[in-house]
Amino acid sequence: MEWETVIGLEVHVQLATRSKMFSGASTAFGAEPNTQACAIDLAMPGTLPSANAEAFRMATMFGLAINAEINRRSIFERKNYFYPDLPKGYQTTQLARPIVGAGYLDITLSSGDTKRVRIHHAHLEEDAGKSLHEDFHGMSGIDLNRAGTPLIEVVTEPDMRSAEEAVAFAKKLHGLVTSLGICDGEMSQGSMRFDVNISIRPKGEEKLGTRTETKNLNSFKFMEEAIELEIERQIHVLESGGKIVQETRLYNGDTKKARAMRSKEDSNDYRYFPCPDLLPVVLDEAYIEDVRRQMPELPEAKRARYIADLGLPEYDAGILSGDAATSAYFEEAARLSGQPKLAANWVMGEIAAQLNRQEISIRQCPITAATLAGLIKRLEDGTISSKMAKTVFEAMWNGEGDADTVIETKGLKQVSDSGALEKIVDDIIANNPQQVANYRGAAEDKRPKMLGFFVGQAMKASKGQANPQELNRILLEKLGG
Amino acid sequence: MHNLTIAQMIRELRRKSFSSVELTEHFLQRIERLDSQYNSFVSITRDQALAQARAADARLAADNAPALCGIPLAHKDIFCTNGVRTSCGSKMLDNFVPPYDATIVENYLRDGVVMLGKTNMDEFAMGSSNETSYYGPVKNPWALNCVPGGSSGGSAASVAARIAPAATASDTGGSIRQPASLCGITGIKPTYGRVSRWGMIAFASSLDQAGLMTRTAEDAALLLNTMASFDGKDSTCVDEPIPDYTANLNQSISGLKIGLPKEYFGEGLSEGTARAVEEAVKTFEKLGATVHSISLPHSHIAVPAYYVIAPAECSANLSRFDGVRYGYRCENPQNLEDLYKRSRSEGFGEEVKRRIMVGCYALSAGFYDAYYAKAQKARRLIQQDFVDAFKQVDVIMGPTSPSPAFEFGSKGKDPVAMYLEDIYTIATNLAGLPGMSIPCGLVDNKPVGLQIIGNYFAEAQMLNVAHQFQQNTQFHELAPAGIQ
């Protein structure tokens, strides 16, 4: 039977506020456990929450960016459950009246097609702390530094039909929130976490199948793997006559295996009710307009600008505008070098390949945009050949200095001086009379192939530093007659 | 010294009739000598009190001290006090020492007020008789076999017994006014949002309000001046101008329109209480006030609505007491669930557990609309009753509680009988209005309280009305036998 996959996402996006959703404690990542948790985060008796205005601004900005209705009046509710990393015994979140209503994001697929993914709503809430189950000799440790960090949870409609579409949406969302500056996008630090709802149904069937939820995926790669694995599992279960059980699953990216965590039967009754410690949040027109005016350039606009103003092909523009850090890097390199297309090639080529190889983000790139621009300039003014540029790039990556320093210390200057090149060419012609005769006797269309011999000899004689264009010109002139 | 009002103490401190250290020492000795009969204090902070008194004396000598500087005060043990155990009347917090002060505690420290200690209370403020305290019941100084009311029973008894000049308290459904009534003193619950809730351990957040127990309305006005503040740490605090509550105390109340809700004088009200309240109203008429019969038609749904909303909020507010970070933890927990179950079963008393379970039930899937949502609708109707009433009258009066102090154990088996103690006080909490109770007579030598309900943020008017009554009557000067 042919199956169709149906995917909906719930995405937790950590907001890049300096302090927490309801307290003044810092949200910085990586501090010693429990050093960034104040009395409010610890839920000490008598403490009360005060909502972080910056979080509302960021959520509003997100809502405007996905063309959603911003609810003029939103309400915080308490979601009740017991867990040691949830100090109050409830999470303060939004349910009936979230700040961001229905909106959408358009994604581009590898086929070139565009698809609209509807977003059901996005709500503000606080993150929980972390339970640490290792290194405590059978006990668990609790780190409440993350407790109270502001999140928006973005909930999509079940509009995606494959892992590719889900990942395309995830990347698009990542690009959007980083471009807006409302999330640092550091997935490995948990800044964006994806819960994936997956079901399958016979192709053509309208009724949705029973879904499972794979929780807490924090890389695009794991997300793709987890989805593929779950689709395969569901098909196998149904085709062997079984039934899908509604359950929560966990995917382990190291072992490439998933397991069921809990089924719907043991799910909590969260007993939501409006939080009496927080007033309804009322946003007026003026506030929303103010946020709209402060919106940074969105990826869509950026993409259009790269095509129109920088002359980039659509493909390049799409890739470079998708992620805020990448586009910032690219724009600086393009501006400083004055060569947008070359800058695009380098960022999408060598830089991306190296970052991938070392599994680091462009923020940690050892070559700054300015240094890359320096390399592009030397390539452009003919000081070095593209082949040499690769060597210079590698040296720059390894911290051996900027392009000029590397060219100087490695003696990589290209020989473009026509006097010097002419002398080399003259010597080669003199020393290889047979090849010269063969060349001159050959038909016009065979000649380019035979020219390779002379180019090789000249490059050898110049220790690889001959300017290829210039060398070609002189060779053709002297051999051709 | 202990028979002086705070207004008098303020004058005598400046006349150097005695120092704050002498005044504080006097009250400390009274507590140490007499409180074994009342059990109104759970902590006595002798050393800190004397240190604060010495500092207050230094400020008084410098001549620019705030009005309340050097005045001793007791705090209900629901208010967090930095470095001083704050138990909330519960085994759960028997070992809890907060590293911070409640905003109201901070306000009093700022003005040089001396803390004598912490007063006993119903566990987590849940009770109307002070019988649910982990530290044992408080006894009513007027009749030691009777309850002082609750939940602020310790605060009320300590002021009635004159072992504290005044005490802070909190009121969620009547926890200031009912014990004030039963102990024959003056109690004020300000408008919701007038006083910061920061550092006051939550029972039901949308109903809880800090207030005061004093002997006179004038003292209440003096103390409210310091207690009331706008506080950014409490989102429900209201940024309304704070008047000098003593400024209008002596204003005439001629022409004041008093509303008497007919619902507050029906079945269930004891005869003696009804008579004392009617007499009090006559006194107001003599002072030039006019009396109007009004109706608060939704009064009968106040208690049911309250006993859905308050437990619902408390069920979540008390989830933080889980044995993980502070407070009581059971011995040798076997696993997480065991830790939760036993810590909470052993750490909470019966009434607290009852309300948590009622609250969880009211909020649970499938019952939310029938209980919680409906109770919120009832709450809006009750609020509207008052809004309509205040279009016709300036203040509303009635009994504070249906009858004077009752004997220990007499309502112990039937929670609903106990809940009806607050039948006249609960509606003001649901509406968020300010209320007072002032002594207006004795029945069988037990005090009766008159309740005064004011409009939103009309504390000054309410205090003026109460003060005028006290200028023309002596009920507030009566003391239990053996005290004077």
Confidence at residue A135, expressed as pLDDT on a 0 to 100 scale: 79
- Alpha carbon distance A32, A9 (integer Å): 32
3-state secondary structure chain B: CCCCCHHHHHHHHHCCCCCHHHHHHHHHHHHHHHHHHHCCEEEECHHHHHHHHHHHHHHHHCCCCCCCCCCEEEEECCECECCECCCCCCHHHCCCCCCCCCHHHHHHHHCCCEEEEEECCCHHHCCCCCCCCCCCCCCECCECCECCCCCCHHHHHHHHCCCCCCEEEEECCCCCHHHHHHHCCEEEECCCCCCCCCCECCCCCCCCEEEEEECCHHHHHHHHHHHCCCCCCCCCCCCCCCCCCCCCCCCCCCCCEEEEEHHHHCCCCCHHHHHHHHHHHHHHHHCCCEEEEECCCCHHHHHHHHHHHHHHHHHHHHHHCCCCCCCCCCCCCCCHHHHHHHHHHHHCCHHHHHHHHHHHHHHCCCCCHHHHHHHHHHHHHHHHHHHHHCCCCCEEEEECCCCCCCECCCCCCCHHHHHHHHCCCHHHHHHCCCEEEEEEEEECCEEEEEEEECCCCCHHHHHHHHHHHHHHCCHHHCCCCCCC
Stretch A423-448: mean pLDDT: 86
Closest Cα partner for B130 from B39, B211, B201, B37? B39
Q: What is the pLDDT, as a whole number, of residue A456?
A: 87
- Is residue B205 within 8 A of residue A276, CB to CB? The reply is yes
- Please name which of A1, A4, A43, A45 lies closest in space to residue A23, comparing C-alpha atoms: A43
What pLDDT is attached to residue B426?
97
User: Which strand (E) or helix (H) includes residue A36?
Assistant: none
If you measure CA to CA, which chain A residue comes closest to B205? Answer: A276
The residues, any chain, with a CB within 8 Å of residue A444's CB and separated by 6 or more, are none
Do the Cβ atoms of A44 and B313 come within 8 Å? no
- Rounded to whole angstroms, the Cα distance separating A409 from A441 reads 44
Position A323 confidence tier, pLDDT thresholds 50, 70, 90: confident
At CA B239, angle to CA B236 and CA B244, rounded to 5?
120
Pairwise CB contact (< 8 Å): B235 & A45: no
* Residues of B acting as catalytic residues: 76, 151, 175
Of B201, B206, B364, the CB nearest to A45: B201
* Rounded Cα–Cα distance for residues B389 and A76 (Å): 32
Question: Cβ B201–A277 below 8 Å, yes or no?
Answer: no
- With 90 as the cut, is the pLDDT of residue A450 above it? no
Hey, which residues 311-330 in chain B have their CB within 8 Å of chain A?
Answer: 312-313, 315-316, 318-322, 324-326
A43: chain B residues, CB-CB within 8 Å: 320, 325
Residue B361 belongs to a domain: no
Look at B80 and A278 and tell me if their CB atoms are within 8 Å.
no
Distance from CA of B77 to the nearest CA of A (A): 12
ipTM of the complex: 0.96
Please confirm whether the linkage preceding B151 is cis (ω < 30° from 0): yes
A99 contacts A63 by C-beta, under 8 angstroms: yes
Taking the CA of residue B82 and the nearest CA in chain A, the distance in Å comes to 12
* A19, A41, A48, A143: best to mutate for the B interface, most B CBs within 10 A: A48
- Residue B199: domain span: 6-256+464-477
Question: Is residue B357 assigned to a domain?
Answer: no
Whether the CB-CB separation of A153 and A121 falls below 8 Å is answered with no
In whole angstroms, what separates CA B301 from the centre of its chain?
23
Residue A276 near chain B (CB below 8 Å):
yes
Contacts of B336 in chain A (CB under 8 A): 84
What is the tens place of the pLDDT at every residue in A293-316? 999 999 989 999 999 999 999 999
Distances, alpha carbon B23 to alpha carbons B1, B73, B116, B124, in Å: 7, 11, 11, 31
- Place A464 in a pLDDT band, splitting at 50, 70 and 90: confident
- A132 vs B: CB within 8 A: no
- Touching check for A46 and chain B: CB below 8 Å? yes
How many Cβ contacts (< 8 angstroms) between chains A and B? 99
Note whether A89 contacts B: Cβ–Cβ < 8 A.
Answer: yes
In CATH terms, the fold of domain A418-480 is: Arc Repressor Mutant, subunit A (1.10.10)
Q: How far does B348 lie from chain A, in Å, by closest CA? A: 15
Name every residue whose Cβ is closer than 8 Å to that of residue A154 and which is 6 or more positions away in sequence: A9, A10, A11, A13, A62, A119, A122, A173
CATH code where residue B245 lies: 3.90.1300.10
* Alpha carbon distance, N-terminus to C-terminus of chain B: 11
Searching chain A, which residue's CA lies closest to the CA of residue B231? A50
Residues B319, A80: C-beta atoms closer than 8 Å? yes
CA distance B436 to B216: 11
**Contact present, B438 and B186 (Cβ < 8 Å):** yes
Nearest-Cα distance to chain B for A27, in Å, is 19
Looking at the partner chain, which of A82, A90, A269 has a beta carbon nearest the beta carbon of B364? A269
The predicted-structure confidence for A98-120, as pLDDT tens digits, reads as follows 999 999 999 989 898 999 999 99
DSSP state of A296: P
Summarised one tens digit per residue, pLDDT across range A158-178 is 999 999 999 999 999 999 999
Q: Which two tokens stand for residue B187?
A: 């109690």
Averaged over A332-352, what is the pLDDT?
A: 95
- Within a domain: residue B141? yes
- B127 touches B145 (CB < 8 A): no
Alpha carbon of B118: minimum distance to chain A alpha carbons (Å): 16
Burial A131-143 (b: 16+ CB within 10 A, else e): eeeeeeeeeeebb
Residue B68: both structure tokens together = 């309340």
Which residues are CB-neighbours of B115 under 8 A, at least 6 positions away? B45, B48, B49, B52, B72, B73, B74, B75, B81, B84, B105, B108, B109
Q: How large is the C-alpha radius of gyration of chain B?
A: 21
Across chain A, mean pLDDT equals 92
- Residue A198's SS3 state is strand
Query: Mean of the pLDDT values across residues A385-413?
Result: 86
In the three-class reduction of DSSP (H, G, I as helix; E, B as strand; rest coil), residue A216 is classed as strand
Q: Whole-angstrom Cα distance, residue B409 to residue B55?
A: 44
Q: Lowest-pLDDT range, A144-148, A387-391, B476-480?
A: A387-391
What is the rounded end-to-end Cα distance, in angstroms, of chain A? 71
Residue A481: pLDDT over 60: no
Instruction: For chain B, say whether A87 makes contact (Cβ under 8 Å).
Output: yes
The pLDDT score that the predictor gives to residue B423 is 93
Identify all chain A residues contacting B324, using CB atoms and an 8 Å cutoff.
84, 87, 142
The answer to whether residue A96 neighbours chain B at the CB level (below 8 Å) is no
Query: What is the rounded CA–CA span in Å between residue B184 and residue B194?
Result: 25
Name which residue leads in pLDDT, A384 or B391: B391
Say what the pLDDT of residue A388 is. Answer: 82
Contact A276, B313 (CB under 8 A): yes
Contact flag B235-A50 (C-beta cutoff 8 Å): yes
Residue B411 phi/psi, 5-degree rounding, is -120, 15
Cβ contacts of B204 on chain A, cutoff 8 Å? 276
Which tokens go with B446? Answer: 């037990």
| A278: nearest CA partner in chain B | B235
Best to test chain B binding among A47, A266, A281, A282 (most B CBs inside 10 Å): A47
More confident: A229 or A447: A229
Q: Does A79 touch chain B (CB under 8 A)?
A: no
Whether residues B365 and A43 touch (CB distance < 8 A) is answered with no
Query: Amino acid identity of A248?
Result: T
**Residues B316, A271: C-beta atoms closer than 8 Å:** yes
Nearest partner of A245 among A209, A208, A203, A216, judged by Cα: A209
Chain A nearest-CA residue for B93:
A45
Instruction: Write the CA distances from A393 to A351, A354, A374, B95, integer angstroms.
Output: 9, 11, 11, 64
Nearest CA to CA, how far is B95 from chain A (Å)?
A: 13
Q: Work out how many domains chain B is built from and give that number.
A: 1
Q: By CA distance, what is B238's nearest residue in A?
A: A279
The backbone torsions φ and ψ at residue B68, rounded to the nearest 5 degrees and listed phi first, read -85, 5
Instruction: Report the gap between the CA of A279 and the closest CA in chain B (Å).
Output: 7
Q: What is the mean pLDDT of residues A359-367?
A: 90
Residue A460: the pLDDT is 84
What pLDDT does residue B344 have?
98
Point out the residues of chain B with pLDDT beneath 70: 484
Residues of B in contact with A277 (CB under 8 A): 202, 205, 235-236
Of B204, B233, B235, the CB nearest to A279: B235
Q: Which residues of B touch A87 (CB under 8 A)?
A: 320, 324-325
Tokens of B248: 């209008």
Work out the minimum CA distance from B28 to partner chain A, whole angstroms.
27
Does residue A418 surpass a pLDDT of 80? no
A6 touches chain B (CB under 8 A): no
Question: Among all chains, which residue has been given the structure tokens 């007791």?
Answer: B74
pLDDT at res. A479 = 83
* Residue type (1 letter), A333: A
Burial code (b: 16+ CB inside 10 Å, e: under 16) for B267-279 equals eebeebbbebbee
> What are the extents of the domains in chain A?
3-287, 327-410, 418-480
Rounded Cα distance between B25 and B32, Å, is 10
Number of residues that make up chain A: 481
- Those residues whose C-beta lies under 8 Å from the C-beta of residue A350, and which sit 6 or more positions away, are A390, A393
